[in-house]
């Protein structure tokens, strides 16, 4: 039954969606066709990354029971039989794909008596909260700074912001986190150094995670606004006596198109970057479990986390693709 579910989700469903997308294209409904194709690619992307991750984690030397004290051969064989590691690699992969179809990654090899789903449910809320707050800072800081730089293009403000943005992008995430910890935690003792017990504890890790992406958004907004303001329509609006703030607002609408397109990439970067930030600020998210799964050779947990990150990044890209045509109709159906 599990194999039939996997066959439906990863083979029959994508094929049916691609066929439906072809019919929608022939009927002239480009938006529906593009949406169907994007949905069809989601399970295929997840399955591909799942397969590559499966091969990678099993190619690493050692096993999940090597970190413990030496085990008797009979004990090792019993543990491998319990977790299915004594089966051929192809049969293990088929079982893993069958479990993937029902979002069941099996038991964790390091967290005894806990499934991978239990570990994910424990750490996912903190990681989602950190990621969402980082994206909030990315938009709240990046968009206004980009607008300000474009409105003062070539001036001292633009040059100063350019230097600041370049500096933030050049610093690794752990260095940026350390620079935030020094004044606010060690010197002035204004904010907590670790955990998520209070809302204030979320400020520094989310800023450390979101500032590099805010710098990238500021660059995108500045470039897109300067391109929009250099076109013909702003001159026409100025000649008609329209206030400059309304012209900037119209240019901002066009400048948000590359920002929305960047959201999917930013979401993937936030997910991967949170691994380091969570470790530095002792946040009980998925980052610590991901590092532990690599160190302990916990195959099932590592595979489940990689698949989860892939699915979340693909969903964010899909959502960004749906929003793009609302801002720029020219992107509809692409």
Which domains, from first to last, does the chain contain? 2-101 (no CATH), 116-331 (1.10.3720.10)
Task: Return the number of other C-beta atoms located less than 10 Å from residue 262's C-beta.
Answer: 19
Q: Rounded to whole angstroms, how far apart are CA atoms 121 and 127?
A: 11
Tokens of 293: 């799964």
Helix axes 30-59, 13-26, angle to 10 degrees: 150
pTM to 2 decimals? 0.85
Rg value, the chain, Cα: 24
CA distances from 59 to 54, 63, 297, 299, 300 (A): 9, 10, 11, 11, 14
DSSP line for 270-304? HHHHHHHHHHHTT--SHHHHHHHHHHTT-HHHHHH
Q: Rounded to whole angstroms, how far apart are CA atoms 306 and 49?
A: 8
Tokens of 189: 């003792």
Give the dihedral of Cα atoms 203, 209, 212, 215; nearest 10 deg: -40
Tokens of 306: 């990689």
DSSP secondary structure letter of residue 107: B
Residues 6+ apart with CB under 8 A from 263: 135, 316, 319, 320
Tens of each residue's pLDDT in the chain, 334 residues? 578 888 888 999 999 999 999 999 888 888 888 889 989 999 999 999 999 999 988 887 776 776 556 667 776 777 777 777 778 889 999 999 999 988 889 888 888 788 999 999 999 999 999 999 999 999 999 999 999 999 888 899 999 999 999 999 999 888 999 999 999 998 988 898 888 888 899 999 999 999 999 999 999 999 999 998 888 888 888 888 888 888 888 888 888 888 988 988 888 888 877 888 998 898 988 888 888 888 788 889 999 999 998 898 888 888 888 777 777 776 665 5
> 């600041």: which residue's tokens?
164
């Amino acid at each position: 039954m599990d194999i039939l579910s996997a066959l439906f989700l990863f083979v029959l469903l994508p094929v049916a969606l691609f066929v439906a997308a072809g019919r929608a294209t022939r009927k002239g409904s480009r938006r529906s066709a593009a949406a169907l194709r994007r949905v069809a690619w989601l399970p295929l992307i997840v399955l591909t990354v799942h397969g590559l991750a499966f091969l990678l984690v099993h190619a690493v030397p050692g096993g999940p029971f090597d970190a413990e004290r030496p085990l008797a051969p009979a004990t090792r064989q019993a543990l491998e039989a319990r977790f299915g590691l004594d089966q051929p690699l192809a049969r293990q992969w088929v079982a893993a794909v069958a479990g993937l179809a029902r979002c069941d990654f099996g038991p964790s090899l390091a967290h005894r008596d806990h499934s991978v789903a239990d570990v994910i449910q424990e750490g996912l809320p903190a990681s989602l909260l950190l990621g969402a707050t980082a994206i909030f800072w990315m938009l709240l800081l990046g968009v206004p700074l980009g607008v300000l730089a474009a409105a003062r293009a070539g001036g001292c403000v633009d040059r100063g912001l350019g230097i600041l943005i370049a500096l933030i992008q050049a610093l690794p995430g752990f260095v940026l986190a350390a620079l935030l910890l020094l004044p606010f935690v060690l010197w002035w003792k204004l904010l907590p150094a670790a955990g998520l017990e209070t809302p204030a504890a979320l400020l520094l890790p989310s800023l450390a995670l979101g500032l590099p992406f805010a710098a990238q958004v500021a660059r995108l907004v500045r470039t897109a606004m300067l391109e929009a303001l250099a076109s013909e329509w702003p001159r026409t609006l100025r000649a008609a006596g329209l206030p400059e703030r309304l012209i900037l607002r119209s240019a901002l609408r066009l400048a948000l198109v590359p920002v929305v397109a960047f959201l999917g990439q930013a979401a993937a970067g936030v997910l991967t970057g949170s691994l380091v930030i969570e470790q530095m600020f002792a946040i009980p998210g998925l980052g610590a479990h991901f590092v532990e799964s690599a160190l302990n050779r916990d195959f099932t947990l590592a595979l489940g986390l990689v698949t989860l990150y892939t699915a979340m990044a693909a969903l964010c890209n899909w959502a960004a693709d749906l929003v793009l045509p609302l801002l720029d109709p020219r992107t509809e159906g692409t």
